[in-house]
Structure formats: C-alpha cells, structure tokens
Structure 1
Amino acid sequence: MMPLSYARHQFPPAVIQHAIRLYLRFTLSDRDVEELLAERGIDVSYETVRRWVVTFGPAIAANLRRRRPKPSPRWHLDEMVVRIGGTLMYLWRAVDDEGEVLEVLVQRRRDKAAALKLMRKLLKKHGVAPTQVTTDKLRSYGAAFREIGLTARHEQGRRQNNRAEVSHQPVRRRERKMRRFKSPGSAQRFVSVHSATYNTFNLQRHLISRPTLRTFRVQAMAEWHAATATA
C-alpha cells in the first residue's frame, strides 16, 4: 500500500478524499461535487475537483487493486463502441463471472491485434490464465487465443456473455454525464480509476441480506480509507 502525500494542498486530506470518492463512486460531474461540497460550507471550484481526481486518482486505484482478492478463473470479454473526440473507438473490457472488472482498454480497432493486446495485459496483470473465457462471436478473439497458446475453454454467444455486456452500463452512464470523453488518454485514465473504485463498492446488494450489506459497506469504506491514507 502506497501512502499518499497531500502536501502543498490548500484543503485538508479528508476533504480531498471525500470529493474524489463522490466523483468516482457516483454518477456525478465535477460541478455536482462542487455543489455538494458547497452545501457543507466548503468552497471548492469544480476545476479543483477535476485536478484532485487527475492527481490522486491513479495512485488510489493502484492501492485499491492491491487489496482485491484474486479473480475467478472464468472470464468474460466484450467490446463496445465509444465516440472520443469525434472519433469512433472501442472500449474493450474483461470481467470475471462475479462481476469484478479485470481490465478496461481503449483501442482504435476491433481486430486480432486489439484482442491480443487485451489478453497480454490481462495475463501479465493477474499472473494466471483463465480456465474458461466467454466472448461474443467476434472471430478476433479465437485468433488471438491461438496465437498466445491459450488453452482455456472458449464459449461464444450473446446471451452467455451477458455478464460482460451488463458491466458496460456504469461507464455508459458516466459517458453521458461527462458529455462523452474528450481524448483517448483521458478516457483510459478515467476508466482505469473508475473500475478500481467500482470493484470496491460493487456489493451485489440484490444477492445478500441487509445485515451482510451493512458489513460489506463497512469493509468497502475501510478499503477506501486505507487506499487514500496520508503518508
């Protein structure tokens, strides 16, 4: 865990941490966070909120990922179209069968090279190969698996891959709220930080009892406080 330094910032660490959590956890704009802080008597510009997210977001995301358990060996891969800076691009996503976001990658193509890049990042990042991979019927996946020698069972079909397709929804909501991403770099930075926060606070509340939900919420907040702790 890497402690964060909030030195040379006008506001206390607690305010910065709270503003970043509001922005990443909920479907809020910079201006929405500014309004919520103003209700508490904290006068912060939305541009300051944006700079806090850019400055501290990647380090917080890295700390959150270090605390996550190993993913399930059953992975779901999918890609969706996004318009970034007026150009159509693809957001490639990998999740496990429990909804944990494993990787999100912004790419210009929807081909074998793009599928290869996603798989290589996944294998390097997690250090283990899946036992089963579910995708849609894009043939680029099969070609990429053969090139890297992946022996996992490969299932294809739209309905079988609902887990990955549904996982795009939070990013779609944020994309609309942000009035689309402005550049590939900013889009990649945002989805990487957002996915780490999403994994921490995605509690599958419809599958658990109320007392268990309260316990999981306490655990999620403890993980957040540990990831944003001061040096």
Structure 2
Amino acid sequence: MLSFKGMRFPIDVILVCVRWYVAYPLSYRHLEEMMEERGVSVDHSSINRWAIRFLPLIEKMAHKYKRRIGASWRMDETYIKVKGVWKYLYRAVDKQGKTVDFRPMLNFKLFRSAGSMLAGIELMHMIRKGQFALDGADAVSFADQFSALAGMVRPV
C-alpha cells in the first residue's frame, strides 16, 4: 500500500491528479486549473512531484497483477511527441501486441522523471487494454482499476 503520510492533500485528490495526468493529454497547469474549478487549490509543481513520487510505486504494485506474457516477444520502436519534438520510445511487445517492457529515450531533465511519466502512461494504456488480472475488472471503470492497483478502494 502506498504511504501518503505527511501529505497535505487527501489521497483521492492526489490519485485523481496523477491518474488524469497519465490518462489524458493534460499539462500540470491544466490540472491545476481543473482542480481550482473543483474548489481544490493545488500548485502544478505539487502535481509534478506526486507523479514522480507515486507513479513508479503504483506501477510496481500493479506489476503483480499483470497477466503473463508469452515466451515470444519482439522489440518495437515508436515515436512520441514531447514538447513539440518527436522522440523515440523503445518497448518490448509479445505476439498479441501487449507491452512487456519499455525504455524511454527522451530529453527530460532527469531520466527518473521520464521513466516515471512513461511508466504511468503505459500503465493507463495497459489498464485500457485489459492487461491486468483484477477480479471484476470488466465491471469497474478505468479510474477504479487505477485506484485498486494503487492499493486504494474508491468510495462508491
């Protein structure tokens, strides 16, 4: 379970900001505005720190629920746009096209930041593709699956 000890904001606010950042093409400043519209005053730099801190932990917790992959896999090279510039992303995929692993090749200031962001983005893609063996995953939303993988049970 994730440790939110010492956090100024409730767990739900943190997870919603982090999930929205990796699930949709939003900037930290867009999220800051969206949360302000909902009555939560949070700075964009706080959302960035939450993403860097919690996405690797959530990805690590989600790894135990990931479905097994086949013995055969291949390397896939794709492009993603970062700050208006196209960059390489290398990932290993199995026969069905499910992601096994990935390596970022970006111009982030820190490789850790790039890895954290891409781990979260890839996690949301895997949730959408149904690549996790969660009980009742078909009956719950992507947001609830993300919360479950983070060790949180969302209130109904």
Shorter-chain TM range is 0.7 to 0.9
Preserved contact between residue 65 and residue 196 of structure 1 (Cα < 8 Å): no
1:26 paired with 2:18, answer no
Aligned-pair Cα RMSD in Å: 3.1
Change beyond 3 A, Cα 1:217–1:25:
farther
Indicate how the Cα distance of structure 1 residues 46 and 184 shifts in structure 2: closer, same or farther if over 3 A, else same.
closer
Aligned partner of 2:108 among 176, 182, 185:
182
TM-superposed deviation, 1:68: 1.3
Shift in Å, 1:191: 1.7
Q: What percent identity do the matched residue pairs reach?
A: 25
CA contact (8 A) 1:93 1:103 kept: yes
Q: 1:221 to 1:82 in 2, by over 3 A?
A: closer
Q: Structure 1: where are the runs of 5+ without partners? A: 108-179, 204-214
Determine helix, strand or coil for the equivalent of 1:42: coil
TM-superposed CA distance for 1:6, in Å, is: 0.7
> Where does the alignment leave 5 or more consecutive residues of structure 2 unmatched?
131-136
Mapped pair 1:224 → 2:146: yes
Alpha-carbon distance between aligned partners in 2 of 1:70 and 1:8, rounded to the nearest angstrom = 36
Does the 8 Å contact 1:90/1:106 carry over to 2? yes
TM-score (norm 2): 0.76
Structure 1 CA distance, aligned partners of 2:80 and 2:13? 33
Question: 1:47/1:25 Cα in 2 relative to 1: closer, same or farther (>3 Å)?
Answer: same
Task: Answer 1 or 2: which has greater helix percent.
Answer: 1
In the alignment, the residues of structure 2 paired with residue 62 and residue 106 of structure 1 have an alpha-carbon distance, to the nearest angstrom, of 17
Q: Following TM superposition, by how much is the alpha carbon of 1:37 offset from its aligned partner in structure 2, in angstroms? A: 1.1
Asked if the contact 1:25/1:201 (under 8 Å) is kept, the reply is: no
**What is the alpha-carbon distance in structure 2 between the residues aligned to residue 21 and residue 89 of structure 1?**
23
TM-score normalised according to structure 1 size: 0.53
Aligned AA (2:140): V
